Amino acid sequence: MNLPLNFLKIFSTVKRQVKAVLLVVILAALGLVVGTKIMALRQLPPPAQAAGVPVETVPVIAGTITESLSYTGTIESAHRASLASKVMAEIRTLTVKEGDRVTRGQVLVVLNDEELKERLNQAAAAVDQARAVLEQAEGALSVSRTNLEKAAANYKRGQELLAAGAIAPSVFENQYELPYQQAKESAERTAPAQVRAARAQLAQAEAGLALARSAYQDATIKAPFNGVVTAVHNYPGDLAVPGKPILTLDDTGKMVARIKVAEADLPFLKVGQKATLRYPGGRETASQVSRIYPAEDPLTRSTIVEVPVSSPGVRPGMSVEVSFVVSQSERALLVPRRAVKTEQGRAWVFAVRNGRAVQVPVTPGLKNETHYEVKGDLKPGEPVVVSDLTRLYDGKEVLVYQERRKS
């Protein structure tokens, strides 16, 4: 159906007017909302910042502070032995494994001793032969001395015959004097020299026998003390080489913590100095330095320090935190470390007095993990700021939003 043209024009005009009215209504509503918000904001109190910088404070305390050096050490047995063969031989038997407990004198390793036994037999035979030679030399010496006595008596008789003119000088020389000189040479020089040589040969043979016997005995390696086998380095069939460990044995009855201490801290330590050991899990025990090694490691610039361990249940290889007490101050003024600000060699804290931060110069003393000892114009119980120090200056207003009773 076709509508008249005039009607369409009237409808279009009315539509535009309705849109305009709606737009005006919407703008009016927005204006009312914005105006209300502005009025509300104007009625709000000033920002909290205007009252001062919000800070947290803790009180200065008077107490004892201990300064310590802390290191991580390793628990080891006080007595460790790396058992190696003294002779080169094949390993025949290994009687233990890692973790086995052994007693002193227990057989741990047996080497192939066939060659060593043969050397022992040869050395024993050499001793027997040397003894026989010595017996012969001593027998010869005895005979030469007897011969000398006879020759001396005969020589004296010849002198008497020569003096009486019963024999010619040539006869005396050949039959009396020459045999006497020969007997004397044998009894006083030759035979004794042979005895000395034979004795030296016997001593050498006996020394060889002792070495052979020791080597034969070294084919069996025994535990030098009660302990635990903590490492096995070689097994049956391997060649045992002198100086190369076959087993490692630890005396677990006596344990120590070994700590590598930097050379800069070493002057603060001495034997007998107090130490605290903290084990995994938080358990602590008290101890003291028992040994400071005489040599420094040139690579790490550190020296090993030993502290006895008396806690049950520890095992070789465990880590332990060790703190050495190097200094202590009693009745000291203490503030948290985060309360101290330093700059260009100066230190200060901000004390809260009459609602303002007062910059108080201090001289730091001893320190631990949480506190400084300080000297300055402070009193026990006085609050000092521990937060937002960078926003403060002397005289700045502050607002304490949290005050701890303990520092």
Q: Among the listed ranges 25-39, 109-123, 284-298, 347-361, which one has the minimum average pLDDT value?
A: 25-39
Place 49 in a pLDDT band, splitting at 50, 70 and 90.
very low
Query: Which of the four pLDDT bands, split at 50, 70 and 90, describes residue 114?
Result: confident
Which pairs count as long-range contacts for 387-391, CB under 8 Å and 24+ apart, including other chains? 387/55, 387/56, 387/338, 388/53, 388/54, 388/55, 389/339, 389/341, 389/350, 391/53
In whole angstroms, give the CA distance from residue 375 to residue 340: 12
Does residue 271 register a pLDDT over 60?
A: yes
pLDDT for 37: 40
Q: Is the pLDDT of residue 289 over 80?
A: yes
What pLDDT score does 43 carry?
A: 46
Q: Could you give the CA distance from residue 216 to residue 212 in angstroms, rounded to a whole number? A: 6
Structure pTM?
A: 0.52
Range in 34-43, 66-75, 122-131, 132-141 the model is least confident about: 34-43
pLDDT band at 405 (very low <50, low <70, confident <90, very high): low
**CATH fold for domain 80-111+220-249:** OB fold (Dihydrolipoamide Acetyltransferase, E2P) (2.40.50)
Give the separation between CA 212 and CA 126, rounded to whole angstroms. 12
The stretch 60-65 carries a mean pLDDT of 95
Pairwise pLDDT comparison (358 vs 37), residue with the higher score: 358
- Residue 231 pLDDT exceeds 60: yes
pLDDT tier, 401 (very low <50, low <70, confident <90, very high otherwise): confident
Beta bridge partners of 305: 259, 292
Measured CA to CA, the distance from residue 319 to residue 76 in angstroms comes to: 10
- Residue 382, pLDDT score: 96
Confidence of residue 378 (pLDDT cuts 50, 70, 90): very high
- At position 105, the amino acid (one-letter code) is G
Residue 280 burial (CB count, 10 A): 10
- pLDDT, position 282: 86
Closest Cα partner for 222 from 82, 77, 83, 78? 83
DSSP state of 207: H
CB neighbour class for 310 (10 Å; exposed up to 12, middle 13-18, buried from 19) = exposed
Report d(CA 85, CA 104) in Å as an integer. Answer: 17
pLDDT grade, residue 254 (50/70/90)? Answer: confident
Render pLDDT for 7-45 as a digit per residue (tens, 0 to 9): 444 445 444 554 444 444 444 445 554 444 434 434 444
310-331 average pLDDT score: 89
Q: Report domain 54-66+330-403's class.
A: mainly beta
Residues pairing with 203 in the sheet: none
pLDDT score at 25: 42
User: H-helix or E-strand containing 272?
Assistant: none
Is the pLDDT at 127 greater than 60? The verdict is: yes
> What would the pLDDT profile of 143-200 be if each residue is shown by its tens digit?
999 999 999 999 999 999 999 889 999 999 999 999 999 999 988 898 899 999 999 9
| CATH homologous superfamily for the domain 69-77+252-327 | Efflux pump adaptor protein, beta barrel domain (2.40.30.170)
Q: Write down the pLDDT at residue 94.
A: 95
- Return the exposure string of 158-184: e unless at least 16 CB atoms fall within 10 Å of the residue's CB, then b: beeebeeeebeeeebeeebbebbeebb
Of 8-12, 123-127, 202-206, 285-289, the poorest mean pLDDT is in 8-12
84-117: string of b/e by CB count within 10 Å (b at 16+)? Answer: bbebebebbebebeeebebeeeeebbbbbbebbe
Res. 299 pLDDT band, cuts 50 70 90: very high
**pLDDT band, very low/low/confident/very high, at 215 (cuts 50, 70, 90):** confident
Q: Name, in order, each residue with C-beta under 8 angstroms of 128's C-beta and a sequence gap of 6 or more.
A: none
Reported as a single tens digit per residue, the pLDDT across 91-112 is 999 999 999 999 999 999 999 9
DSSP 145-199: HHHHHHHHHHHHHHHHHHHHTSS-HHHHIIIIIHHHHHHHHIIIIIHHHHHHHHH
**DSSP β-bridge partners for residue 372:** 335, 367
- CA torsion, ordered 20, 24, 30, 35, to nearest 10 deg: 160
- Considering the chain, what is the average pLDDT of its residues? 86
CA distances from 201 to 110, 129, 136 (A): 33, 10, 13
Angle between helices 114-164 and 178-185 (to 10 degrees): 150
Mean pLDDT for the stretch of residues 41-53: 53
Give the mean pLDDT of 365-379.
93
pLDDT band (50, 70, 90) for residue 369: confident
Say yes or no to pLDDT of 333 above 70.
Answer: yes
Burial class of residue 235 (count of CB atoms within 10 Å of its CB; 0-12, 13-18, 19+) = exposed
pLDDT score recorded for residue 315: 84
